[in-house]
A = this chain, B = another copy of it.
Amino acid sequence: MSTTQETPLSGTDRTRLRRSKERGRSERAALYEVLDAGMICHLGVVTEGGPVVLPTGYGRIADTVYFHGSTAAHSLISARTGSVCMTVTHLDGIVLARSAFHHSVNYRSAVVFGEPRLVHDPDEKLAGLRAVTERLAPGQWDVVRLPDRKELAATAVLALSLTEASVKIRTGPPIDDEEDYALDLWAGVLPVRQSFGDPMPDPRLRPGMTVPDHVLKRA
């Protein structure tokens, strides 16, 4: 894995940052960090009617991300027949500047381009599904009922290689125009956080079932 981690992110025409180049990161580790901190991505595909962007789960194994969906899902069918763009964004803060123009957000985002392949190999398919499930709900795969033959057949798993990707990160205070620092205005960052609440048990829980440790420790 270390050789992979040391491979910098590609600089193709699509991934070359045009705006705010100083926010770009070229280390592969930064890509992994942004992807591994997320739970859903926004997947863009092109259909006959134009672009479609849908939120969906994903998982990563080394330099491949996996998506899954019903074999009948429209967006997944489009994804199978062409190029996609997968974006993961973490909103970290609202940047409150002294001028409207310099208002911004602190964020981490990863954008991956490529043509997904439909996974046929049963072992890779299961590994991909595990990766997607574990990204959302770590620890669950080891305890729940795993997919049976029928469920596997109803599920399409797509693999997207992390060969063409870019990462953009903004941190820190607002950057105001020099003369605006003299204004009598408060400026700074309002942090935005994502957290988990207390687990809400299914009303149909069997008696005596307690929240498992792997769920509790996230809440």
Chain A contacts to B: CB under 8 angstroms: 13-14, 18-19, 39-40, 42-47, 49-55, 57, 69-70, 72-74, 82-87, 89, 91, 93-94, 96-101, 103, 105, 107, 109, 111, 113, 129-130, 133, 136-137, 140-141, 143-147, 151, 155, 173-174, 176, 180-206, 209-212, 215, 218-219
Which one of B73, B187, B199 lies within 8 Å of A205 (CB-CB)?
B187
Whole-angstrom CA separation of A13 from B211 in the bound complex = 43
Task: Report the nearest B residue to A132, measured CB to CB.
Answer: B103
Whole-angstrom CA separation of A46 from B99 in the bound complex = 32
| A101 x B151 contact (CB < 8 A) | yes
Task: Report the nearest B residue to A143, measured CB to CB.
Answer: B185
| B194 x A199 contact (CB < 8 A) | no
Which one of B49, B89, B147, B193 lies within 8 Å of A13 (CB-CB)?
B49
Whole-angstrom CA separation of A68 from B212 in the bound complex = 46
A105-B136, A189-B200, A193-B197 known; A45 and B51 CB under 8 Å? yes
Residues of B within 8 A of A136 (CB): 94, 103, 105
Given A54-B111, A189-B202, output 10 extra A-B contacts at Cβ < 8 Å: A18-B73, A19-B70, A50-B83, A52-B85, A96-B140, A145-B180, A189-B200, A190-B200, A190-B219, A191-B199
Whole-angstrom CA separation of A196 from B186 in the bound complex = 17
The smallest beta-carbon distance between A169 and chain B, in angstroms, is: 12
| B195 x A96 contact (CB < 8 A) | no
This chain's copy number in the assembly: 2
Whole-angstrom CA separation of A183 from B146 in the bound complex = 13
- Lowest 4 A-B CB distances belong to which pairs? A50-B83, A191-B197, A44-B53, A44-B51
